[in-house]
C-alpha cells in the first residue's frame, strides 16, 4: 500500500514537472544564447546541409558558418538541450548561437519564435523525432520562417538525422514507428508514412526523398521501397539523397553537392524507363528492371569535402569523384552491382607498406607482378572458363614471382627450409582442396586443386601431399628452386635479432633494415565467372623463421579461404588470428545471416581481427560483382579487373 501510494505521488510530481516545463517552454522557448544577444545582419550565401546523424560533422558546420557571414545562428528542436551552442560556437566566428525548444504548435506559432528564426543567418535542425517536427511545425509560423530562410533570405540551413529527414520535398514521418528493410516484403506496411511537399521547400529538393544512418542501419532497402511508393502513389519518379552517419551532403546555392565527413553519401536516380514491376499491398516489392532499376552514385566523404554531384538536375554526366552502382529489388531482396562490374580481385600481401620506404623501381615491379596475375586470370575469364581456372592462373603467376611470399618467393623457416601452403575453393559446389608444409611443389595452388578434384580429401600435408601431387602430374622441383638471396638475408637477420616470437613474413624488420616495406606474406585471388559462379584461392610461403612445423590460415578453408554462391574471400595477415576468428567464413556468414553488404562484412571481420591484436587484410568479391579490400595495416598489394577489362592496382591506404 505504501509503495503504491509512493509511486502515485512520484508520477503526479513528474507529471507536474513536465507540465511546468511545457509552460516554461511556451513562455520562454529559448534554452540558451551563447554570444552577443543583439541581432546583427551579415551577407549570406544559401545552402542546404544534410547530415546522416550519429555525431557531429565539424567540417559541415564550418561550411555553414562560412556561408552565414558570421551572423546569428539558431538551432531548433522539439526536445533535448542546448549542447549545440558550444559545439557550433567553437568551430568559427559567429555573433551568437541560440537554441529554441519548439515542442508544440502554440510555440511554433509564437511571433517571437518566428522572428528569431527569420533573423538568423544560419539555421540548424537537430535530431529527434521527425513526426514531432511535422506535427508541431508544419503549416505554422515556424515552417513559414524556415522556408523564408531557404528561399528568400537564402541562408545556410542544415539538419541531422530527423532534421535531415524533413529537409526535402518528399519526406518520411515515422509517426507510426520506424520502418525497416522488412517493408520490402510489403511496401504498404503501416509504417510507410510518406508526405509530398507539404512542409519545407529547400531549393532543388522538391522531388527528393532523404534517408539517414544509411549503411550503418542498412536502410538502402527501405529507401528504395519509399521511392517505389512515391512512384506508385503520386506518379512522380523521385530522386534520393542518403548520407551515412557522421557524414554530410553540403549543397550550395547552385545545387552543387560535396560530401564532408568520414562515411559515404548516396545519390539515387529513378527513371520511368525502369519503373517498378510490382508495388502491391501484402506482396514483396519487385523492381528488377534487368538489374538496372535505380542508378546510384556513391561518394566517399573527406574532412574538407569530396566528390561533386549536381543536385540541381541530377545529371549523371556531371558527377565526379565517386562510383556508380545499379540497385534493384528481386522478390523483396535489395541488391546492388557496380556499373563497372568487378570479376577478378587479387592480393599480394598486407602489412607496413610505406610509400616513403618504397623505391619507384620496386613499386613498379610489385604493380607489374599484380598486373601480370590479373591479365592471366582475365585471359581465362574472357573465354568463359570456370572461375577455378582463372583463380589458378592468376595465383600461379604470383607463385612464380620472387617478390611475393608464395612459391618462388617463399620465406625460410628457422631450419633454412621453404615450406609452402595453399588452398582453393569452388563456390558453386563448396568443394575445396588444400596442401600444407610442402617443399617441392612449384605451384602449390595447382596441387590444392588436384586434392579437391582428384581425391576424396580436402587437405593433405608434407611428404604425403607431395607424393599425391607427383602422381597427379604436378610439377616437382628441387627444394633449392625456392631459394632467393633476399629471403635468405631475411632469415639471417631474424636469427641474429633472436626474436622471442616469430613474426609473419618479414614484418620483424625495423625501418631502414633489409626489407623496408614490412609486408605480410600470402597471395590470393577471387573470381566471378561469366556463369555467375565464384572461386577463391590463397597461397603462401608462411612465416620467416617459423619453427615446429607451424601452419597458418592460408590452407585452412573458412579461415584463409572461402567461397560459396554469394561471395569468395582470400585473406592475408597474421594467420593465428585469422584461424581463431574463422575470418573468411565469418564474412560469408554475415552476408547470409545478417544481410550485410560485402563491404560492411569485410570491415566487420577485419575489425574483429584488430580487436584480438592481429594485423592484415582480405579481398572479397560477391555474386553481383561488388568488391571489398579492407585491411588494418599501412598497405596491401591489391588489384581488380572489371568485366570490360579495366585494371586497377593499389598498394597504399587511399
pLDDT of residue 192: 98
Interval 218-241: pLDDT, tens: 999 999 999 999 999 999 999 999
Q: Is 574 known to sit in a ligand binding site? A: yes
Of the pLDDT bands very low, low, confident and very high (cuts 50, 70, 90), residue 357 is confident
Question: Which residue from 159, 155, 192 is spatially nearest to 175, judged by alpha carbons?
Answer: 192
Helices 141-148 and 130-137: angle between axes, nearest 10 degrees? 100
Task: Reduce the DSSP state of residue 546 to 3 states and report it.
Answer: coil
Interval 530-540: pLDDT, tens: 999 999 999 99
**CA torsion sign, 598 to 603 to 604 to 609?**
positive
Please count the other Cβ atoms lying within 10 Å of the Cβ belonging to residue 282. Answer: 9
Q: Is 598 known to sit in a ligand binding site? A: no
pLDDT for 352 beyond 90? no
Task: Reduce the DSSP state of residue 169 to 3 states and report it.
Answer: coil
Which residues are bridge partners to 427 per DSSP? none
Task: Reduce the DSSP state of residue 477 to 3 states and report it.
Answer: coil
Of the pLDDT bands very low, low, confident and very high (cuts 50, 70, 90), residue 12 is low
Q: Is 36 known to sit in a ligand binding site? A: no
pLDDT of residue 543: 86
Question: Which residue from 315, 318, 296 is spatially nearest to 307, judged by alpha carbons?
Answer: 318
Pairing of strands 256-261, 208-210: unpaired
Pair 419, 554: CB distance under 8 Å: no
For residues 212 and 509, the model is more confident at 212
Interval 140-198: pLDDT, tens: 999 999 999 999 999 999 999 999 999 999 999 999 999 999 999 999 999 999 999 99
- Grid coordinates representing 39 are 541581432
Q: Is 552 known to sit in a ligand binding site? A: yes
Q: Is 240 known to sit in a ligand binding site? A: no
Tell me the C-alpha to C-alpha distance, in Å, between residue 187 and each of 166, 194, 233, 270.
Answer: 21, 11, 11, 17
Q: Is 572 known to sit in a ligand binding site? A: yes
Of the pLDDT bands very low, low, confident and very high (cuts 50, 70, 90), residue 486 is confident
Q: Is 234 known to sit in a ligand binding site? A: no
Tell me the C-alpha to C-alpha distance, in Å, between residue 592 and each of 220, 567, 588, 598.
Answer: 17, 10, 6, 10
- Grid coordinates representing 607 are 575489425
| HEC secondary structure over 312-364 | CCCCHHHCECCEEEEEEEECCEEEEEECCCEEEEEEEEEECCCHHHCCHHHHH
How many whole angstroms separate alpha carbon 615 and alpha carbon 223?
36
pTM as predicted: 0.81
Cite the active site residues: 522
Q: What domains lie within the chain, and their CATH numbers?
A: 25-167 (3.40.50.880), 176-246+263-299+325-338 (no CATH), 343-414+486-492+516-652 (3.60.20.30)
The H or E element that residue 202 is part of is: none
Amino acid at each position: 500500500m505504501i509503495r503504491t501510494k509512493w509511486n502515485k505521488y512520484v508520477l503526479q510530481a513528474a507529471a507536474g514537472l513536465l507540465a511546468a516545463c511545457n509552460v516554461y517552454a511556451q513562455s520562454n522557448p529559448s534554452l540558451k544564447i551563447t554570444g552577443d544577444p543583439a541581432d546583427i545582419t551579415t551577407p549570406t550565401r544559401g545552402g542546404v546541409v544534410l547530415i546522416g546523424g550519429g555525431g557531429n560533422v565539424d567540417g559541415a558546420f564550418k561550411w555553414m558558418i562560412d556561408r552565414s557571414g558570421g551572423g546569428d545562428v539558431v538551432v531548433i528542436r522539439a526536445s533535448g538541450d542546448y549542447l549545440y551552442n558550444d559545439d557550433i560556437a567553437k568551430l568559427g566566428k559567429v555573433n551568437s548561437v541560440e537554441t529554441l525548444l519548439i515542442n508544440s504548435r502554440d510555440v511554433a506559432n509564437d511571433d517571437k519564435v518566428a522572428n528569431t528564426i527569420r533573423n538568423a543567418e544560419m539555421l540548424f535542425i537537430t535530431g529527434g523525432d521527425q513526426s514531432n517536427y511535422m506535427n508541431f511545425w508544419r503549416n505554422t509560423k515556424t515552417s513559414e520562417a524556415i522556408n523564408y530562410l531557404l528561399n528568400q533570405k537564402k541562408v545556410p540551413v542544415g539538419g541531422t538525422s530527423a532534421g535531415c529527414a524533413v529537409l526535402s520535398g518528399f519526406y518520411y514521418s515515422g509517426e507510426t514507428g520506424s520502418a525497416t528493410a522488412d517493408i520490402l516484403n510489403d511496401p504498404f506496411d503501416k509504417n510507410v508514412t510518406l508526405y509530398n511537399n507539404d512542409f519545407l521547400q529547400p531549393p532543388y529538393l522538391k522531388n527528393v526523398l532523404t534517408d539517414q544512418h544509411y549503411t550503418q542501419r542498412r536502410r538502402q532497402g527501405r529507401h528504395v521501397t519509399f521511392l517505389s511508393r512515391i512512384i506508385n502513389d503520386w506518379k512522380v519518379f523521385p530522386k534520393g539523397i542518403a548520407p551515412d552517419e557522421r557524414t554530410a551532403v553540403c549543397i550550395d546555392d547552385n545545387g552543387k553537392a560535396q560530401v564532408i565527413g568520414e562515411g559515404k553519401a548516396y545519390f539515387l536516380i529513378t527513371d520511368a524507363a525502369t519503373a517498378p514491376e510490382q508495388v502491391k499491398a501484402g506482396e514483396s516489392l519487385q523492381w528488377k528492371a534487368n538489374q538496372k532499376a535505380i542508378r546510384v552514385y556513391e561518394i566517399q566523404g573527406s574532412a574538407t569535402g569530396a566528390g561533386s554531384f549536381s543536385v540541381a538536375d541530377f545529371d549523371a554526366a556531371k558527377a565526379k569523384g565517386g562510383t556508380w552502382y545499379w540497385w534493384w529489388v528481386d522478390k523483396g531482396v535489395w541488391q546492388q552491382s557496380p556499373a563497372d562490374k568487378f570479376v577478378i580481385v587479387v592480393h599480394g600481401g598486407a602489412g607496413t607498406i610505406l610509400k616513403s620506404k618504397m623505391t619507384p623501381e620496386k613499386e613498379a615491379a610489385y604493380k607489374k607482378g599484380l598486373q601480370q596475375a590479373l591479365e592471366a586470370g582475365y585471359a581465362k575469364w574472357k573465354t568463359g572458363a570456370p572461375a577455378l581456372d582463372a583463380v589458378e592462373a592468376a595465383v600461379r603467376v604470383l607463385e612464380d614471382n620472387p617478390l611475393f611470399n608464395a612459391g618462388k618467393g617463399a620465406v625460410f623457416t628457422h631450419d633454412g627450409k621453404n615450406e609452402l601452403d595453399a588452398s582453393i575453393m569452388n563456390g558453386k559446389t563448396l568443394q575445396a582442396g588444400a596442401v600444407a608444409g610442402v617443399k617441392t611443389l612449384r605451384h602449390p595452388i595447382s596441387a590444392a586443386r588436384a586434392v579437391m578434384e582428384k581425391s576424396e580429401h580436402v587437405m593433405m600435408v608434407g611428404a604425403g601431399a607431395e607424393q599425391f601431387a607427383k602422381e597427379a602430374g604436378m610439377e616437382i622441383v628441387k627444394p633449392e628452386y625456392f631459394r632467393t638471396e633476399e629471403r635468405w638475408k631475411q632469415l639471417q637477420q631474424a636469427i641474429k635479432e633472436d626474436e622471442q616470437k616469430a613474426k609473419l613474413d618479414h614484418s620483424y624488420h625495423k625501418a631502414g633494415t633489409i626489407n623496408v616495406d614490412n609486408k605480410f606474406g600470402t597471395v590470393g585471388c577471387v573470381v566471378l565467372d561469366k556463369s555467375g559462379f565464384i572461386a577463391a584461392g590463397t597461397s603462401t610461403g608462411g612465416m620467416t623463421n617459423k619453427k615446429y612445423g607451424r601452419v597458418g590460415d592460408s590452407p585452412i578453408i573458412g579461415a584463409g579461404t572461402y567461397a560459396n554462391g554469394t561471395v569468395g574471400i582470400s585473406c592475408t595477415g597474421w594467420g593465428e588470428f585469422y584461424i581463431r576468428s574463422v575470418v573468411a567464413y565469418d564474412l560469408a556468414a554475415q552476408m547470409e545471416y545478417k544481410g550485410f553488404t560485402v563491404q560492411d562484412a569485410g570491415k566487420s571481420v577485419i575489425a574483429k581481427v584488430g580487436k584480438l591484436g592481429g594485423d592484415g587484410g582480405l579481398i572479397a568479391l560477391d555474386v553481383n560483382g561488388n568488391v571489398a579490400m579492407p585491411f588494418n595495416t599501412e598497405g596491401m598489394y591489391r588489384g581488380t579487373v572489371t568485366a570490360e577489362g579495366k585494371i586497377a592496382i593499389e598498394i597504399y591506404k587511399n
